[in-house]
Amino acid sequence: MLALYIGNKNYSSWSMRPWVLLKQAGIPFEERKVSFEGGFGADSAFKETVRKINPTGRLPVLVDDGFTVWDTLAIAEYIAERFPQHRIWPQDAKARARARSVCAEMHAGFSALRGACGMNVEANLTQAGALIWRDKPAVRGDVQRIVAMWTELLEQHKGPMLFGEFSAADAYFAPVCIRLKNFGLPVPGHVTDYIRRVCALPGVKAWIDEALAEKQFLDFEEPYRTCR
């Protein structure tokens, strides 16, 4: 069976992507969580544990019968090739290329949004979000691009997901949906509706429910709060 090494569900946007992809596709896997508690220093328990399976010392990591795959895009591609019957990417060649393009754009970009609005499933951060929206034009620019991207894809493929049916692209943007919702960043109604649909997917809802059950406050992950 596949084994997926992940971090804390409340904070780990990168771990969420392949976990949701596998869960929503119905592909069995064993979850192995490595806690963020203690931080990410070179000598931390986290780094010591992860380096045993991934030389970069980062999560997520997929292990298939001793073969290790790291980086979320590489994991998505491996899953797609390993389980072609699950249609991880859109079937149309052009749609498939566009889905890979937008995932790569997320992978390499939107640094202002990711930096200012850290992943946090549990918290209502609308007050912080209002200040971020007011003071950080780069965040507004990132959100504008996301809104334009999602609008085009939803209109072109007639929803309910970005490429019609659920695909790796929706799993890839699920953490963005949580950021936009929990920080209360202003988006048009049709984007809010897409966010609701993504959060209601069984795979996404399972991640959210388990994140809420963690009850572990890590101050270095939450510079906007001093306690829960």
Measured in degrees and rounded to the nearest 5, phi and psi for residue 215 equal 55, 40
Q: Which CATH number fits domain 93-210: 1.10.1200.10, 1.20.1250.20, 3.90.1150.10, 1.20.1050.10?
A: 1.20.1050.10
CATH topology identical between 2-86 and 93-210: no
Beta carbons within 10 angstroms of residue 200's beta carbon: 11
- pTM (global) more than 0.85: yes
pLDDT computed for residue 227 by the predictor: 47
Query: Do 122 and 10 form a contact (C-beta atoms < 8 A)?
Result: yes
pLDDT computed for residue 36 by the predictor: 78
The CATH class of 2-86 is alpha beta
pLDDT digits (tens, 9 = 90+) for 16-49: 999 999 999 999 999 999 987 777 677 788 888 8
- Where the chain has pLDDT below 50, the residues are 226-227
Q: How many H helices and E strands in the chain?
A: 10, 4
Q: Where are the chain's structural domains?
A: 2-86, 93-210
Tokens found for residue 115:
């930096």
Query: Do 27 and 79 form a contact (C-beta atoms < 8 A)?
Result: yes
* CB within 8 Å of 158: residues ≥ 6 apart: 164
Concatenated DSSP letters for 93-113?
Answer: HHHHHHHHHHHHHHHH--HHH
